[in-house]
Each structure stands twice: as C-alpha cells, then as structure tokens.
Amino acid sequence: DTGVSQNPRHKITKRGQNVTFRCDPISEHNRLYWYRQTLGQGPEFLTYFQNEAQLEKSRLLSDRFSAERPKGSFSTLEIQRTEQGDSAMYLCASSFLGGDTGELFFGEGSRLTVL
Amino acid sequence: AQSVTQLGSHVSVSEGALVLLRCNYSSSVPPYLFWYVQYPNQGLQLLLKYTTGATLVKGINGFEAEFKKSETSFHLTKPSAHMSDAAEYFCAVSDESADKVIFGPGTSLSVIP
C-alpha cells in the first residue's frame, strides 16, 4: 500500500501523559500536513511542512504540541501533558508541490482519547 | 482569511433522488475550491476541485459542482443518489499556493432506500 500511513490508529491515555503520533506520507510527496478533527466538525489545520521545513503553525497548536519532519520524509506529532480537550482524531495528509494543485491525500487518522 | 460554511449539517435523500449539498466560501483572493468525501472509518478523499477555467467541474461517482463567483458558492450535486453515497462531505478552500486548505464543518448525507 503506497498511501498515507498513520500510527497508532487509536491511543488511549491518561491526562498529563505525553503521546506521539507518526505519519508516513506518500514517498514522493514533499508537503505534509497535520489536521485535527473533532466529532461533527471539519478538519482544522494545525501545521504543514515543505520537505523538512515547518512553514506554518496554527494558533490551535499550543506550546504543548510539537511536530517534526526531520529528514523530509515521515513526521511526528507530539502532545505533552495531554488534556481532555486534546481528545480528537489527528489527521495527516500529504501532497506534491508542483503536482495537482491542492489535492491532499489523507491517512485514516490517529484517534486520541484522553481520560 | 478564508472560510467555508456548509448549510445543513445533515441531509437525507431518497435513493434515486437529487443530491444537493451547499457550500459558501469567503476568500480575499481567487479561491481554489474542493469537495472531499469521508466514508465511515476511511480517510478523506478528493471528489472534485475547481482551480481555474470551466466553472462546472465533474468529479468521481457522478458528482459535479459549479463555481459561482457572484454568489461565492460551490454547491455539490448528483442527479440520482445511491446508497453507497452515504458519507460525510466536506467543502474546502485554499488560495493559489495551496499552502493551507481550510475545511468547512461538513454535511452528513444519508440515503434512504
């Protein structure tokens, strides 16, 4: 399967713990995006990378959140000191700059439940 | 800033009936507009998009949408609903750079047999 892969698919944690999600984009894609989706809402933009550079971060991304894409391939999203309000589906998407404009390829998401 | 509104969080249609899902956008620059679909337990996938040129765009599974600049709308239609069309539909907007795609809240489509 050469689609976008996200792991783990579901994470249950206790408030105050740290969690990390991983995203493996489509191999030739140079752009990678993180979105957050809560029940009944559309995906909310969090951040995006072009190659290894993080070019934009949403105000939704508090200092407890950090994202990296160290070699311009896979990316990680870490949430420190989780809060119940962090419970959501975290979506990763990738695209190719210079390809079909704006088409994002999404993974199936990583669902976070904070108890 | 760009934004998207979708009128009706839930739409029900009978099988074989017309599907109409509404989308209005706000953008200070010429918009790129998209419809994505999310089937249960699957990732979002692109249905269709408008960038430039012809304002009526056709997508997969018989869906189409028309960009109307004067109405700032990009409504999604399908002449005849099928049971397999039941899903969540998201309208989205970006600018030419596509740095950031902004999604609407979504419309859940139910198809009644």
Q: Which of residues 54-83 of B touch A (CB under 8 A)?
A: none
A104 CB within 8 Å of a chain B CB: yes
Residue B23 pLDDT greater than 90, yes or no = yes
Taking contacts as CB-CB distances below 8 angstroms, the residues of chain B near A4 are 43
A9 CB within 8 Å of a chain B CB: no
Q: What share of residues in chain B are helix, strand, coil (percent, to 5)?
A: 10, 50, 40
Convert the pLDDT of each residue in B69-85 to its tens digit. 999 999 999 999 999 99
The mean pLDDT of chain B is: 93
| Number of Cβ within a 10 Å radius of residue B59 | 17
Torsion of Cα atoms, B108 then A107 then B53 then B68, to 10°: 20
| Number of Cβ within a 10 Å radius of residue A68 | 14
Taking contacts as CB-CB distances below 8 angstroms, the residues of chain A near B36 are 104, 106
CB-nearest to A56 from B9, B100, B102 is B100
Supply A45's token pair.
């933009």
Pick from A101, A94, A9, A107: nearest CA to A48: A94
Is the bond preceding residue A8 a cis peptide, omega within 30 degrees? yes
Convert the pLDDT of each residue in A21-39 to its tens digit. 999 999 888 899 999 999 8
CB-nearest to B105 from A41, A48, A101 is A41
